[in-house]
Structure 1
Amino acid sequence: MSELFYSIQGESTFAGMPCVFIRLAGCNLRCSYCDAAYSYEEPGRKVSIDSLLDFVDEYPATMVELTGGEPLLQAGSLQLLDRLVARNRTVLLETNGSLPIADLPAGVHVILDVKCPDSGMAASWLPDNLTAIRRRAAQRPNGTEVKFVVSSLLDYRFARDFIREHDLSTHAPVLFSPVRSRITPAALAAAVLQDRLPVRLQLQLHTLIWPEQTRGV
């Protein structure tokens, strides 16, 4: 485990809502823009699932997000997700798209990254996850969303073409998140509007509320 905190959900279709975050340590990717590199650069702490559940229970929020790093690398992540769902929580999982999501509990809301070229990790995408997205959409509409972190117009065109090739927005909400040090939200918005893409443009709300804080938000 890297860190535990209670904050405002800064991204996704749940942005703005209070949420308990469980950030697990370790990641199999090294994205160029990573804003949580400490989750794999620093050693994590070994904690029990029961202690994590006790932490979650301290807060009134019904929403819990499991994030990283890459949380699915941890052997106990599926059991933790199962137990959170059993507690009638709204359970979010943020995962980087390189590991299979087919066997995740149906009650988990999956936020699935597709890495763009400027991340340096585009080759990590697991194609089988497209089938899983469609299957999960049939079982639980809007239970999965797909995120593209966009650093440039090259990334934008990659994301646009990926969405069109796989008819992605038919099966899941699609979100574009600009790397603001590399592309302005206005430039990304203009491209989305010009191409009439059925996507949601999102900004990291927590970075606007707490611009000086890099952890615990």
Structure 2
Amino acid sequence: MSSLRITEIFYSLQGESNTVGIPTVFIRLTGCPLRCVYCDTAYAFTGGKKVKITEIIAQAEQFETQYITVTGGEPLAQPACLELITQLLDKGFIVSLETSGAIDVSGVDSRAVKVMDLKTPGSGELSKNLYQNIAFLNAKDQIKFVIGSDEDYDWSKAALAEYKLPGRCDILFSPVMGQQNPTELAEKILRDRLPVRFQIQLHKLLWDDAQGK
């Protein structure tokens, strides 16, 4: 019976993505090969508890919501994550996967919504981007740029054109809280007529914490 190392399973409002505000079960897997400078879930790098997939699903079912987000850490760092996602989908859940973009997404069940980062220069992990992943994204998926500076914004804007991202899937521009003024980022998006979705981390506005990520 497959198991995964889990940091936490909790119920909250989705704080990001195009389902922001929807009550969601979050399954946070332990471990991540990246060390982004703005990371707000470093507590998930280590520790956690081995839990059988059947038990993970049973816990998720208790919250009586269709929406489940599998997150981390970096969930794809544990190969059995793919099995968890498929089993959740088979149960009828609407499943999204939050991934750093540094690990191959080609094996992710096509029914899941992939919310994939492209790491900006300010993350400190620009070299980890696996650009081949873009080819495995479709219209229901999302690419997220976390922006902390003018350099990050300019890089992200250039990436939109270089990788022909508009029209492939939703594009999310998100400010680093406490570093990038969100109003300034919003005004840049409007000024440059960018075909992106501005997002701000709802959970941090409501509860000033990392829940709902």
Global fold match (TM > 0.5)? yes
Give the deviation of 1:102 after TM superposition. 1.2
Structure 2 residue aligned with 1:104, among 104, 108, 122?
A: 108
Aligned residues of 2:105 and 2:136 also touching (Cα < 8 A): yes
RMSD over aligned CA atoms reads: 1.2
Task: Report the residue type matching 1:152 in the other structure.
Answer: S
Question: What is the distance in 1 between the residues matched to 2:191 and 2:153?
Answer: 12
Identity among equivalent positions (%) equals 39
Deviation digits for residues 87-112 of structure 1 (CA, Å, limit 9, x no counterpart): 11000000000011112101100000
Deviation digits for residues 31-56 of structure 1 (CA, Å, limit 9, x no counterpart): 0000000000x411111101101101
Q: TM-score, normalised by structure 1?
A: 0.93
Question: What is the distance in 1 between the residues matched to 2:183 and 2:17?
Answer: 19
Aligned residues of 1:3 and 1:216 also touching (Cα < 8 A): no
Q: Which residue of 2 aligns with 1:70?
A: 74
Q: Does 1:167 align with 2:164?
A: yes
Question: What is the distance in 1 between the residues matched to 2:87 and 2:7?
Answer: 20
Q: Structure 2: which 5+ runs fail to align?
A: 1-5
Aligned residues of 2:16 and 2:212 also touching (Cα < 8 A): no
Aligned residues of 2:203 and 2:211 also touching (Cα < 8 A): no
Deviation digits for residues 144-165 of structure 1 (CA, Å, limit 9, x no counterpart): 1000000001000000000011
Task: Report the residue type matching 1:183 in the other structure.
Answer: Q
Question: What is the distance in 1 between the residues matched to 2:72 and 2:109?
Answer: 18
Q: TM-score, normalised by structure 2?
A: 0.95
Q: Which has the higher helix share?
A: 1
Q: Which residue of 2 aligns with 1:150?
A: 147
Q: Name the SS for the 2:49 alignment partner.
A: coil
Give the deviation of 1:75 after TM superposition. 2.4
Q: Which residue of 2 aligns with 1:27?
A: 32
Question: What is the distance in 2 between the residues matched to 1:209 and 1:32?
Answer: 23
Q: Structure 1: which 5+ runs fail to align?
A: none
Structure 2 residue aligned with 1:119, among 123, 135, 145?
A: 123
Q: Does 1:178 align with 2:168?
A: no
When the two structures are aligned, how many residues end up with a matched partner?
208
Structure 2 residue aligned with 1:189, among 186, 189, 205?
A: 186
Q: Which residue of 1 aligns with 2:90?
A: 86
Task: Report the residue type matching 1:57 in the other structure.
Answer: E
Question: What is the distance in 2 between the residues matched to 1:112 and 1:12?
Answer: 10
